[in-house]
Amino acid sequence: MTLLMEKDAPQVGERTRAARGRVRLREHLLGWLFVGPFALVFLAFLIAPLAYAAYLSLFQRKLIGGTSFVLFDNYLKAFTDPSFLSGTWFVIRFSLVAIPLQIGIALALALILDAVTSMFARFARLMIFLPYAIPTVIGAIMWGFLYSKSFGPLADVFGLFGATAPDLLSSNNIFYGLVNIVTWQWVGYYMIILYAALQGIDPSLYEAARIDGAGRWQIAFRIKIPLISPAILLILVFSLIGTLQFFNEPQILRPLAAGAIGPDFTPNMYAYQQAFGLANINYGSAISFALGGVVFVGVYAFLFFTRKRRSFL
Amino acid sequence: MTRPASTGVRRPPRRHLPLQVFLGFVVVYFLVPFWWVVVNASKDSVGLFGGGNTLWFADSVDYLGNLYQLFTFDGGIYGRWILNSAVYALAGGVGATTLAVLAGYGFARYRFGGRRFAFALVLGALMVPATALVIPTFVMFAGLGLTNTMWAVILPSLLNPFGVYLMHVYARDAIPTEILDAARADGAGELRVFLQVALPLMRPAVVTVLLLSAVACWNNYFLPLAMLSDNRLFPVTVGLGLWQGIASANNAGTTPLWSLIILGALVSVIPLVIAFFTLQRHWRGGLALGGLR
């Protein structure tokens, strides 16, 4: 709009300003032309569903009386619903254990692979990354077999040491069974990202540190890890977002771990059960929105405490 | 070993024996599930439940027979699932990547009004649980009659904010502005500058985003599970999940379905493993992008 107004008010230097205006307008148009297609998809499949879910979550459908507007009743219900609360508590506990474990292992492996350069190290890097290429559903099915009493090897392996194998599908151990699956699935991916970041460090820094008398460990802890901390932070945030939405693995193991995994095991499973199992779309929307709130608060709390907000978002 | 070229001379490999032995144990852990699947895909029901060694082959090794069973069971439904997965991965992957490349380049290279706000929205979208979108999208698609069609899986897959973020970072850092300006001064239009100058420079990031989006589509479970009810439209993840539910419900556990699931799991991972290995050179550089900010 300002561009047009400038044109209407002729004064000295009008031509150059109008020319600049045309350039600016062109830049606006070109920018939106490139971004436009994605913006459309963004509106249609992110903004619109979110707005619609927010809208849906404000209603309740009853057998008698039909659908009625209830404002925040669904949310009050969700945050006092033992199913939602226990599921949320589970994914929080699970995140606190699984994420540091995965990232710790991934970091250790990345540092090793950065230090050891042999044929075997290269082979190991690929093999550790391999599970990332496996759909989480298939990964869960594979581990389900390994945990299974009828055809899993755990009994044999523990038998070698004269011990009885733990049943990783029982309600006492399912937590660890799932921690193991996600660790196997994601460590390789995190490792590759951290490894790539390590490879991006200028090696002359190491030479300088060595001349100053730093040893391997000091180089790792004082130079390498601080320099790749943005990558570590990025992984932490993404794994937190992913883990709070935990769905695929427990959903797949549910038939095998009867009794240990209920339909409300994680908030996402609960939302799925409500929306598609019980055709309670309104409450399902409220739960997934509430979960979105938990993710948002979780990520922001995390970024706040690490005080690194500006390096990422 | 591909250190960045700037380091110059290739160094002799550093072998650290204790660490290599340790890596050996780690590799065994990561390979055990594959090994189990490869071994047990060769067995029939008798071999599976006969109580033999679960980590070694049984007396009869019959991959071909099992493969024949897998691809003929229930009218060859498994082959359809694999094909569906390929369609979803290809359509979703190519579509999402195209949009992400255009948008990332636009965000990085043009100063247009609303750019900062729009990009902040994209970054915020990284935090939205993808599954929180599935329920309302399902209701919207139900209204449009799109549920239980392939579009219901493909269209939402076109949204890949992380891809836009990666492309933005790459387009901003890896394309020298002077090259673009030189091309413009030579009279090339903006589209030509993008297609013939910028795009080739962005190739590593494009391959990475393409691979990541295709993998995400191939692995997707929640979205197709919610959207599809006709099992002939299932991707292989949902299909195998279905079989696994049936086989487990069949409590005694000796149904022949189990050997199909095991082989089915093995066959379904082969395309992605091949894609990752053959494209290794291209995606490895790209993955560093997100981390180096």
Give per-residue pLDDT as tens, A64-93.
667 778 778 888 888 888 889 999 999 999
pLDDT reported for residue B90:
93
Q: Residue B51's pLDDT band (boundaries 50, 70, 90)?
A: low
Q: Residue B116's pLDDT band (boundaries 50, 70, 90)?
A: confident
Determine the average pLDDT of the residues in B54-65.
Answer: 76
Q: Do B118 and A39 touch (CB under 8 A)?
A: yes
- Residues of B with CB below 8 A from A127's CB? 27, 30-31
pLDDT reported for residue A2:
36
Q: Per-residue pLDDT tens for A30-61?
A: 888 899 999 999 999 999 998 988 888 888 77
- B128/B220 Cα distance (integer angstroms): 16
A99 Cα to chain B: minimum distance (Å) = 17
Q: Which of A17-31, B29-43, B174-188 has the lowest mean pLDDT?
A: A17-31
The more confidently predicted of residues B47 and A49 is A49
Residue B254 exposed, middle or buried by CB count within 10 Å (0-12, 13-18, 19+): middle
Distances (CA, A) of B53 to A19, A51, A140, B56: 80, 55, 22, 6
Asked whether the beta carbons of A200 and B288 are under 8 A apart, the reply is: yes
Pick from B219, B226, B248: which is nearest to A255 by CB?
B248
Q: Do A42 and B121 touch (CB under 8 A)?
A: yes
Task: Report DSSP state, residue A133.
Answer: G
Mutation pick from B46, B112, B175 vs chain A, by most beta carbons of A within 10 Å, is B112
Per cent of chain A over pLDDT 90 is: 20
Q: Which of A66-75, A218-227, B74-83 has the lowest mean pLDDT?
A: A66-75
Q: Do A49 and B136 touch (CB under 8 A)?
A: yes
Give helix B161-174 / helix B77-109 axis angle, nearest 10°: 40
pLDDT > 90? residue A222: no
Q: Do A34 and B110 touch (CB under 8 A)?
A: yes
Q: Per-residue pLDDT tens for A163-199?
A: 777 888 888 889 999 999 999 999 998 998 888 888 8
Asked whether the beta carbons of A231 and B292 are under 8 A apart, the reply is: yes
Pick from A117, A203, A296: which is nearest to B13 by CB?
A117
- Residues of B with CB below 8 A from A184's CB? 29-30, 33
- A133/B288 Cα distance (integer angstroms): 18
Q: Do B13 and A123 touch (CB under 8 A)?
A: no
Angle of CA points A98, A103, A104, to nearest 5°: 100
Angle of CA points A281, A87, A280, to nearest 5°: 10
Angle of CA points A203, A205, A313, to nearest 5°: 90
Q: Do B129 and A235 touch (CB under 8 A)?
A: no
Q: Do B11 and A156 touch (CB under 8 A)?
A: no
Smallest Cα–Cα separation from A135: which of B8, B275, B127, B249? B275
The more confidently predicted of residues A302 and B97 is B97
- Residues of A with CB below 8 A from B292's CB? 197, 200, 230-231
Average pLDDT value over all residues in chain A: 83
CATH assignment, B63-291: 1.10.3720.10
The kind and range of the H/E element at A62 are: strand A59-62
Determine the average pLDDT of the residues in B174-183.
Answer: 86
pLDDT > 80? residue A17: no
Among A136-150, A212-226, A277-291, B89-103, name the most confident range.
Answer: B89-103
Determine the average pLDDT of the residues in A291-310.
Answer: 77
Pick from B20, B33, B111: which is nearest to A27 by CB?
B111
Q: Per-residue pLDDT tens for A101-127?
A: 999 999 999 999 888 888 888 889 889
A155 Cα to chain B: minimum distance (Å) = 10
B280 in contact with chain A, both atoms CB, cutoff 8 A: yes
Q: Do A124 and B164 touch (CB under 8 A)?
A: no
Name residues whose C-beta falls within 8 Å of residue B177's C-beta, 6 or more positions apart in sequence. Answer: none
pLDDT reported for residue B56:
75
- Residues of A with CB below 8 A from B240's CB? 137-138, 141
- A160/A154 Cα distance (integer angstroms): 10
Q: Residue A5's pLDDT band (boundaries 50, 70, 90)?
A: very low
Q: Which residue matches tokens 């891809």?
A: B163
pLDDT reported for residue B287:
62
B68 Cα to chain A: minimum distance (Å) = 21
Q: Residue B38's pLDDT band (boundaries 50, 70, 90)?
A: confident
**HEC-encoded secondary structure of chain B:** CCCCHHHCCCCCCCCCHHHHHHHHHHHHHHHHHHHHHHHHCCCCHHHHHCCCCCCCCCCCCCHHHHHHHHHHHHHCHHHHHHHHHHHHHHHHHHHHHHHHHHHHHHHHHCCCCCHHHHHHHHHHHCCCCHHHHHHHHHHHHHHHCCCCCHHHHHHHHCCCHHHHHHHHHHHHHHCCHHHHHHHHHCCCCHHHHHHHHHHHHCHHHHHHHHHHHHHHHHHCCHHHHHHCCCCCCCCHHHHHHHHHHHHHHCCCCCCCHHHHHHHHHHHHHHHHHHHHHHCHHHHHHHHHHHHCC
B28 Cα to chain A: minimum distance (Å) = 9
Q: Which of A181-190, A195-204, B80-89, B261-270 has the lowest mean pLDDT?
A: A195-204
Per cent of chain B over pLDDT 70 is: 88
Q: Which residue matches tokens 């009008």?
A: A14
Pick from B15, B115, B293: which is nearest to A312 by CB?
B293
B276 in contact with chain A, both atoms CB, cutoff 8 A: yes
Per cent of chain A over pLDDT 70 is: 89
Q: Residue B6's pLDDT band (boundaries 50, 70, 90)?
A: very low
Pick from A46, A53, A284: which is nearest to B125 by CB?
A46
Q: What's the distance, CA A97 to chain centroid?
A: 15
- B87/B98 Cα distance (integer angstroms): 16
B222 in contact with chain A, both atoms CB, cutoff 8 A: yes
Smallest Cα–Cα separation from B76: which of B247, B271, B262, B231? B231
Ordered alpha helix ranges (H), A116-135:
119-129
Q: Do B241 and A115 touch (CB under 8 A)?
A: no
Q: Per-residue pLDDT tens for B137-162?
A: 998 999 999 999 999 999 999 998 98
Determine the average pLDDT of the residues in A245-257.
Answer: 87
- Residues of B with CB below 8 A from A145's CB? 36-37, 40, 262
pLDDT reported for residue A88:
92
Sketch the domain layout of chain B as residue ranges.
63-291
- B273/A130 Cα distance (integer angstroms): 7
Token pair in block for residue B41:
């895909």
Average pLDDT value over all residues in chain B: 83
B213 in contact with chain A, both atoms CB, cutoff 8 A: no
A214 Cα to chain B: minimum distance (Å) = 18
pLDDT reported for residue B101:
93
Those of residues 61-90 in B touching chain A at CB distance below 8 A are none
Long-range contacts of B190-198 (CB under 8 A, 24+ apart): B190/A30, B194/A34, B194/B105, B198/B105, B198/B109, B198/B171
Determine the average pLDDT of the residues in A271-285.
Answer: 86
Q: Which of A16-30, A203-217, B56-70, B170-184 has the lowest mean pLDDT?
A: A16-30
Q: Residue A14's pLDDT band (boundaries 50, 70, 90)?
A: low
pLDDT reported for residue A57:
85
